[in-house]
Amino acid sequence: MTLPDAQTVTSVKHYTDRLFAFRVTRPQSLRFRSGEFVMIGLMGDNGKPLLRAYSIASPSWDEELEFYSIKVPDGPLTSRLQHIQPGDQIILRPKPVGTLVHDALLPGKRLWLFATGTGFAPFASLLRDPDTWDKYDQVIMTHTCREVAELTYGREIVESLKGDELIGEMVGDKLVYYPTTTREQSPKMGRITTLIESGEVFRDIGIPPLDPAVDRAMVCGSLAFNLDIKALLEKAGLREGANSDPAEFVVEKAFVGDGV
Ligand SMILES: Cc1cc2nc3c(=O)[nH]c(=O)nc-3n(C[C@H](O)[C@H](O)[C@H](O)COP(=O)(O)OP(=O)(O)OC[C@H]3O[C@@H](n4cnc5c(N)ncnc54)[C@H](O)[C@@H]3O)c2cc1C
Ligand SMILES: NC(=O)c1ccc[n+]([C@@H]2O[C@H](COP(=O)([O-])OP(=O)(O)OC[C@H]3O[C@@H](n4cnc5c(N)ncnc54)[C@H](OP(=O)(O)O)[C@@H]3O)[C@@H](O)[C@H]2O)c1
């Protein structure tokens, strides 16, 4: 490819028939804040780039860039992207943006990261960022998926943290990992929204209910999920923040549409 925005795939790992992760070379000039997204893609059949928004799943200090992706069978991009191999090239527009960043939250004591499905991707970046562990006394990572196998990528990231040379000591006992499934049996079943409403998640972790003086939250899932969590956070007195106006929680869509 002769495009200036071409990057080379360095590794690919498939998790299920719907999910995979891959790593690419990082443009030397690319600076981003953990949690942001960029446009990536492939050259379309019409000779024009076919680009989609993707959260950068690797932390800002990483030499490479990692992405965690859905495979939509007839999706214009992912029907092809799912076949990439090391050595292949993808297009990456080096203009990172997004609201799931520490700058958009006011200081707090406890950080909730609420993800469904591929919404885990921005948190894979934030969990590996020393700032996350520097800023908070406790970090609660919730991940709700339909099936157990869909939790694997997130679980691997979480399990790698304690042994991580850079942040292992900072993580210490600050991390609570709270995976749940909705359509396959697992140790914790149910939508996280239901578990918040019933108070079960707070009893499980052994902490008081959401409190705007203490709790901060980042949310990434389907539109329906984001709206439901937002309503629960607002009911508890937390306000939505933005880069220009930091507050108690921030939200970003994991994808556009109702699902395939
Ligand atoms: C801010 C932002 C960040 C994103 N980050 C990621 C990411 O890190 N990883 C990722 O896989 N996708 C991410 N997406 C979705 C991504 O941009 C594409 O939609 C996805 O790659 C599918 O592309 P496509 O061309 O194959 O199908 P599209 O035509 O884009 O999508 C077809 C349909 O598939 C469904 N769909 C698309 N993406 C997903 C998904 N991730 N999970 C469940 N259903 C989906 C939707 O119903 C959509 O209408 C993000 C989207 C936004 C807006
Ligand atoms: N995951 C699969 O095995 C699978 C397989 C084939 C096709 N698909 C298609 O792919 C699309 C995306 O599927 P996905 O599983 O990645 O994403 P998803 O439909 O957004 O579901 C991901 C998780 O979020 C939960 N959830 C959805 N809406 C919620 C809300 N409003 N509040 C709280 N929790 C909510 C779901 O629980 P619920 O289960 O209770 O909805 C599920 O556990 C779907 O349209 C689906 O038809 C999925």
Of 64, 126, 66, 56, which Cα lies nearest the Cα of 97? Answer: 56
pLDDT at residue 252, as a whole number: 97
Q: What is the mean pLDDT of the chain?
A: 96
- Could you read off the pLDDT of 118-130 as tens digits, one per residue? 999 999 999 999 9
Please state which CATH number belongs to domain 102-251: 3.40.50.80
Which atom of ligand 1 is nearest to 76's Cα?
25
Confidence of residue 187 (pLDDT cuts 50, 70, 90): very high
Å from CA of 181 to ligand 2 middle:
10
Å from CA of 29 to ligand 2 middle:
37
Indicate the domain borders of the chain.
6-97, 102-251
Q: Which residues contact 113 (CB under 8 A, 6 or more apart)?
A: 123, 126, 127, 139, 140, 141, 142, 217, 218
Residue of 222, 228, 229, 253 to mutate, ligand 2, most atoms within 8 A of C-beta = 222
How crowded is the C-beta side of 109, counted as CA atoms within 13 Å?
7
pLDDT at residue 94, as a whole number: 94
pLDDT at residue 259, as a whole number: 60
pLDDT at residue 2, as a whole number: 60
Q: Which CATH number fits domain 6-97: 3.40.50.300, 2.40.30.10, 3.90.550.10, 3.30.1540.20?
A: 2.40.30.10
pLDDT at residue 170, as a whole number: 95
Dihedral sign for Cα atoms in the order 220, 221, 227, 230? negative
- Could you read off the pLDDT of 97-143 as tens digits, one per residue? 999 999 999 999 999 999 999 999 999 999 999 999 999 999 999 99
pLDDT at residue 1, as a whole number: 55
Average pLDDT of the residues in 68-81: 97
Which ligand is in closest contact with the Cα of 44? 1
Confidence of residue 211 (pLDDT cuts 50, 70, 90): very high
pLDDT above 70 as % of the chain: 98
Rounded-to-integer distance, Cα 172 and Cα 166, Å: 12
